[in-house]
Structure 1
């Protein structure tokens, strides 16, 4: 069985943004944003494209420092997604 997934640009963008918020919680990312992509494909994408990306590491560090996850409680997934997209586009 071939588990290879050809990622679209949109899927890569969503995954990159979700990593900033959820870090390496691939199960949460899969269930909330990319249910059609296997955890194995996400893990591979993470290590191929994101793990060594300094910009994303800085954004994750800043997110931890600001404790933004607490601020997202009670907000819709779309509000969280829009906020993350705005962070990346700054």
Structure 2
């Protein structure tokens, strides 16, 4: 069985934003935003694009600080809007 998933730009954006909200809780990210993507694909994407990329890690840290000043439901709605684009 082929588990490879070709990520779209929109899916990558959603995933990056969801990582800010849910950290490495891939099950929550999958169930709320990307149910069609396997946990294995998410784990691979995380380690390919985020874990080893200092620029993205800095961006996530900065956005996490901004998130702390907002309500979780506002961020959730923001990510949901990305899904509908």
TM-score over 0.5 (shorter chain): yes
Given that 1:4 and 1:41 are in contact with CA atoms closer than 8 Å, whether structure 2 keeps it comes out as: yes
After TM superposition, where is structure 1 displaced by more than 3 Å over at least 4 residues in a row?
A: 59-62
CA distance in 1 between partners of 2:20 and 2:69 (Å): 11
Unaligned runs of 5+ in 2: none
With the length of structure 1 as denominator, give the TM-score of the two structures: 0.70
What is the aligned residue count?
79
Q: Output the aligned Cα RMSD.
A: 2.5
CA distance in 1 between partners of 2:40 and 2:50 (Å): 15
With the length of structure 2 as denominator, give the TM-score of the two structures: 0.74
